[in-house]
Chain A
Amino acid sequence: MGRTAATLEQTVKLINDAGGSARYVIADVHDEQAVRHAVEIAASHSGRLDVAVNSTGVDGGNDSHPLIDYPLETLELMLATNVRGMFLSMKYELKIMSTQGFGSIVNISSGAGLTGVAGIRATWPRSTPRSA
């Protein structure tokens, strides 16, 4: 499951061509049940989940505005994806990892969560969801 089969298929093909093994699930981190299902599928093959890398994120794209003009829907999308989506991913990954007694999670953030970026006027809306 997931949202963008084409890019996932490309990643899986690169991995398989390099001698690795991968499969993908179409999922949307906005959907709690889809996240739960994806994590369960990941662990179902071997019966364990050793590593989780949470790198899903959005940055508002080219929707750059001064804070006073910043679209609320863009901020809400970033919070839903970068904060809530990360939370849901960790919630279900940790359920498996805590039961099995091991596992590692790497959450990918952004330099924009650590420091302002010169020239990007909408620094606060961009950086806050990255550092929350």
Chain B
Amino acid sequence: MTQTTTQTHSDAKTALVTGGGTGIGGAAAFALATERL
């Protein structure tokens, strides 16, 4: 189960990703925090 919350921050934007530890959520957190979306 993925029931976690990850927050990502950058100078450009602030994003909150729930389920950010694994899977799609982890990939989204990574992409947002490194601005690869």
Q: Do A57 and B19 have beta carbons less than 8 Å apart?
A: yes
Which residues of chain B in 1-35 are interfacial with respect to chain A, using CB atoms and an 8 Å cutoff? 1-10, 13-26, 28-30, 32-35
Give the size range of A's interface with the partner: 35 or more
The count of A-to-B residue pairs whose CB atoms sit within 8 angstroms is 161
Please determine whether B24 and A52 come into contact, CB atoms closer than 8 angstroms.
no
Which listed residue (B6, B13, B19, B24) contacts A12, Cβ 8 A?
Answer: B6
Determine if A22 and B33 form an interchain contact, defined as CB atoms under 8 angstroms apart: yes
- Quick check: is A122 within 8 A (CB to CB) of the other chain? no
Complex CA gap A52/B18 in Å reads 8
8 contacts between A and B (CB under 8 A): A15-B8, A20-B35, A22-B8, A30-B3, A50-B15, A53-B18, A89-B18, A93-B16
